[in-house]
Amino acid sequence: MADYPEFDGEALQQGREIWLDTCEGCHGIGVAGAPVAGDHKAWAPRIGQGKEVLYEHAIDGFFGPGGTMMPARGGNEQLSEHEVQLAVDYMVRLATDK
């Protein structure tokens, strides 16, 4: 399993925990068309749409143009909206970190 970096700040630490528990299953190696964490090229156009869009898609779920599906809250109904946002923040950081 890849060693995912830790970043400073409590929010990113929390986001990393949530991300590892719920998101990494698919975004770790790209299951079911999920963009792989840390793949700058795959993430650039997504991040370009703005964080609000990413939050919305992650919280409510989203059908991609190729028939792919991002399930609401990553399929983990236990997560609060805030927790999903923290995980998104962590993944965006992974995708923009040099």
Partner 1 sequence: MKHLKKATLAMGLSTALVLPALVLGDVSDEAKFSPKQMTDWLHLVMSSDRTVYTRLIVNRLQNKEKVIKASEHFEDDKALVLPAQMFRFGAEMVGEQTDDFSYSLLSEWPINKQNAPRTEVEKAGLAYIAANKGENYYATEELGGTTYFTAVYADMAVAPACVSCHNDHKDTPRSDFKLGDVMGGVVIRVPL
Specify whether the CB–CB gap between 19 and 13 falls below 8 A. no
Note whether 69 binds partner 1 by CB under 8 A. yes
What is the smallest separation between the CB atom of 95 and partner 1, expressed in angstroms? 18
Residue 69 dihedral angles phi and psi, to the nearest 5°:
-135, 125
Residues in contact with partner 1, shown as a per-residue x/- string from 24 to 43 under the rule CB under 8 A: xxxxxx-xxxx---------
Q: 81-96 and 10-18 are packed helices; what angle lies between their axes, rounded to 10 degrees?
A: 100
Residues that bind partner 1 (CB under 8 A): 1, 22, 24-29, 31-34, 63, 66-69, 71, 74-76
